[in-house]
Amino acid sequence: MLAVAAQTLAITAPVFAMLFLGVALKRLRWIDTPFIDTASSLVFRGTMPTLLFLGVVKADLDAAMQPQLLTYFFLATTASFFVAWAWAIWRVPFEDRGIYTQGAFRGNNGIVGLALATSMYGDYGLSVGSLLAALVILCYNALSAVVLAIYSPGAKPGARAIVRSIVSNPMIIGVLLAVPIAYWKIPLPQWFLTSAEYFAQMTLPLALICIGGTLSLASLRRSSGTAIGSGMMKMVWLPLLSTSGAWLLGFRGADLAILFLYFASPTAAASFVMARAVGANHELAAAIIVITTLAAVVTTNIGLLLLQWGGWI
């Protein structure tokens, strides 16, 4: 387990490094609020849709095609969204319900989950993990767009407004453009793919620097209660429920472990980008990302230890 702990720390440490770099750059006044606004908009409208586009285009849809595994992951993710939303309606102030819900169900599968799955199970982990990540991208963005449209300041939560927020979401557009290309294996020019990769590689560092630039002790104190609640939902209760459901349905071995790693991934940086884009409480979104990323070092290893102890993986 020490090896797994080291792997988890190696994956999450660079995330924290970029977060703290954002804090330092803001304190040094190398970046300011207008820069963070512009950079966040660039990530939301450009670099992240490009990253998602490339992720789907490069995914081998024929490899590790397991309908039962994919179906369960999709249904469990959707159920997690509604569990988190129902809890938010009961316990969270109206204006923060969208941020709480998104932070509690939206995992960083493409970075943390996929890296750990590949590290533990090699090519099998990579192929299954890539397929799971590609599947859930649309689910994450569509459900997040819905809940943020309902609770964002000044939003008009009618059916037409919600549909508009979904179909106009740049991340969803990026995925939808990529699906037919991946399905029919349409070749793209190498110069285009290389240029797109250069552009997409800015996504995570730029998003994390913006999150760090937004953080402050005052904002963390203001958001601490709600952020910890969302973090507990994301890192403890929903992974416990979803993984238990997978175990009851008979998933074992690498499949169960990969499902757990994806359910237990910390909140994705995209949640901050989307929150800022719609004028929601992005400070709360940033706090949830920090808390869940820190918690992942502990909860992921405890979960794997328990699964190994039970002889299920």
Residues of the chain with pLDDT under 70: 1-5, 60-65, 154-158
Task: Tell me which DSSP letter residue 184 carries.
Answer: T
| pLDDT score recorded for residue 249 | 96
Q: What is the DSSP letter of 267?
A: B
Residue type, 234: K
Contact status, residue 144 vs residue 102, Cβ threshold 8 Å: yes
Give the Cα separation of 160 and 265 in Å (integer).
33
Give pLDDT, residue 161. 72
DSSP string for residues in 74-112: HHHHHHHHHHHHHHHHHHS-GGGHHHHHHHHH-B-IIII
Q: What's the pTM?
A: 0.85
Residues 144-153: pLDDT tens digits?
989 998 997 7
Q: What is the pLDDT of residue 307?
A: 92
- Which pLDDT score, from 0 to 100, does residue 68 have? 92
pLDDT of residue 2: 62
**CB 113, CB 52: distance < 8 Å:** no
Q: What is the pLDDT of residue 183?
A: 82
Contact indicator for 299, 235 with CB cutoff of 8 Å: yes
> H-type helices in the chain, by residue range?
2-27, 33-42, 48-58, 67-91, 97-105, 114-151, 159-167, 170-183, 190-200, 203-214, 217-232, 238-248, 253-263, 270-277, 282-309
List of domains in the chain: 2-309 (1.20.1530.20)
| Residue 122 burial (CB count, 10 A) | 11
The pLDDT value recorded for residue 189 is 95
User: What pLDDT does 16 receive?
Assistant: 83
